[in-house]
Chain A
Amino acid sequence: AQSVTQPDIHITVSEGASLELRCNYSYGATPYLFWYVQSPGQGLQLLLKYFSGDTLVQGIKGFEAEFKRSQSSFNLRKPSVHWSDAAEYFCAVGRRPGYALNFGKGTSLLVTP
């Protein structure tokens, strides 16, 4: 069965600092990996996805993520965080691109001035 672990429940970073959110997955075959962001009272918005090919994927809002098969990880990064990035971030895995997703429990990002 697929599963996703986001080890950090909360992360606080200063505005302008770099960010890395961790995601580890458990799945026997090639995973299809996603990062979503959720602002308060809103639904989930797709930041980026990995299906195959280049292991470094670029997303919206300046985010990128790197797929590392040897570490079963798909960490999300941003070089310089903006206050508007404060939100809940979810990593998700699917066994095929269009199938239902298993989500991690989320990481809440707080950005300080």
Chain B
Amino acid sequence: DQQVKQNSPSLSVQEGRISILNCDYTNSMFDYFLWYKKYPAEGPTFLISISSIKDKNEDGRFTVFLNKSAKHLSLHIVPSQPGDSAVYFCAASDLGNDMRFGAGTRLTVKP
């Protein structure tokens, strides 16, 4: 069963515009959420996280929003840059130790 879902396999945006990546989860016990970025032939790199006690966390151009009632989180990148082109994974954990990952969204930022 896929507890974390990223329904958009790909997203293309123009440089300078906002990128919005979405993630849905089914397990209400999840209380910590992360976004990872992955370039080809590299491991995932941590980008930003949010605890379930918050609804927003911001770090520079990256903001993660959490809607617990809808079991939905999103990652906003603004302004988007060509170097942001990568696969983005959403992950969630329930204070246990294994994280559940979504299938990823490939973001392409066009110059």
Do A and B come together as binding partners? no
Chain A residues packing against B (C-beta within 8 Å): none
Chain B residues packing against A (C-beta within 8 Å): none
